[in-house]
Amino acid sequence: MPDRPGGTLYRGREGMWSWVAQRVTGVLIFFFLLVHVLDTAVINVSPEAYNAIIGTYRHWIMGLGEAGLVAAVVIHAFNGVRLILVDFWAKGAKYQRVMLYIALALFVVVMAGFLPRHLMNTFGGH
Amino acid sequence: MSAVDNPRAPYVRQKTTRSNYELYGWVFMRASGAVLLVLIFGHLFINLMTGEGVHSIDFAFVAGKWATPFWKVWDLLMLWLAMIHGTNGLRTIINDYASKDRTRLVLKGLLYLAFTVVVVLGTLVIFTFDPCPAGAAADLLPSFCPAP
């Protein structure tokens, strides 16, 4: 039993913060997706126009933005798998907290594989 | 009718939901999310982790990918699923935080407009893409284009 009433608000802790993070990363990814389809559409204008637009992604500022975008996608994806398990696996709700820490650990592993290579591509003397 | 309902009136079940729309939306978020994990991780790996990563991406790179139906289907599926998944997510967020009817209507109107424009434009681009446009500099084109 909780040692004090939880009130009528959401109970906080891992469950609430992963829910907040899922919304924030989802909105970020959605707005990037709108921009990304528009910049890709320039490919039907001319090769020169597309290369000029996509070339801006090679700038180091965009490189850091891409790192943040990939981080948002990866944590949204892994927490999304956790959500699916919470909803469809009989023991999902019981293990929701430990599954969040597993998702975060997988996130760290994937980013540790992604970031060095991506940052070398971004900053590596082109 | 008096101001207060008759307390002795027998219970009448109210049919409040007209459809299972929200149920299907909930199922779709989970099903499309699982597929999108594969599609987007694959997309990010091929475009950012192979070759020189983001420095490899140019017209010829995309033309090379879209020369095969595999990547056209991949990108088309990714576009549609991601846009429906994202639009439904934003719809949920707007419904949660925009309490005024008018604000909700305007925001969702803008959302559905953006959805339509982006999905139609993206789909047209994939289907009408020409890897060897006439008059373009040959060194910008993929190697399989015939010499001008």
Query: Complex ipTM, two decimals?
Result: 0.88
Do residues A86 and A108 make contact, with C-beta atoms less than 8 angstroms apart? no
Average pLDDT over residues A32-48: 94
Chain B contact present for A32, CB below 8 A: no
Tokens 């599926």 locate to B77
Could you report the per-residue pLDDT of A84-113, keeping only the tens digit for each? 999 999 999 999 999 999 999 999 999 999
- All structural domains of chain A with their residue ranges: 13-123
In a domain, B5, yes or no: no
> Do residue B83 and residue A57 have CB atoms under 8 angstroms apart?
no
How far is Cα B147 from Cα A34, in angstroms, rounded to an integer? Answer: 36
In a domain, B7, yes or no: no
User: Which pLDDT does position A9 carry in this prediction?
Assistant: 57
Q: Which residues of B touch A84 (CB under 8 A)?
A: 30, 33-34
In a domain, B99, yes or no: yes
Identify the residue with better confidence: B56 or A85. A85
In a domain, B83, yes or no: yes
For residue A110 the two structure tokens come to 């994937």
For residue B46, what is the domain's CATH number? Answer: 1.20.1300.10
Long-range contacts, A36-41 (Cβ 8 Å, 24+): A37/B79, A37/B83, A37/B118, A37/B121, A37/B122, A38/B118, A38/B121, A40/B62, A40/B122, A40/B125, A41/B121, A41/B122, A41/B125
In a domain, B98, yes or no: yes
CATH code linked to domain A13-123: 1.20.1300
- Domain residue limits at B106: 21-132
In chain B, % of residues over pLDDT 90:
64
How far is Cα B148 from Cα B146, in angstroms, rounded to an integer? Answer: 6
Do residues B42 and B105 make contact, with C-beta atoms less than 8 angstroms apart? no
Identify the residue with better confidence: B97 or A3. B97
Chain A contact present for B101, CB below 8 A: no
In a domain, B109, yes or no: yes
User: Which pLDDT does position B148 carry in this prediction?
Assistant: 62
Query: Which amino acid is it at B73?
Result: V
For residue B12 the two structure tokens come to 């009448």
Chain A contact present for B76, CB below 8 A: no
In a domain, B81, yes or no: yes
Q: Which residues of B touch A59 (CB under 8 A)?
A: none
A116 to chain B: closest CA residue: B49
How far is Cα B35 from Cα B23, in angstroms, rounded to an integer? Answer: 19
* Overall domain count for chain B: 1
Q: A1 to chain B, minimum CA–CA distance in Å?
A: 30
Long-range contacts, A20-24 (Cβ 8 Å, 24+): A21/A75, A21/A76, A21/A79, A22/A76, A22/A79, A22/A80, A22/A83, A23/B89, A23/B93
Q: Which residues of B touch A40 (CB under 8 A)?
A: 62, 122, 125
> Do residue B121 and residue A23 have CB atoms under 8 angstroms apart?
no
Q: A121 to chain B, minimum CA–CA distance in Å?
A: 6
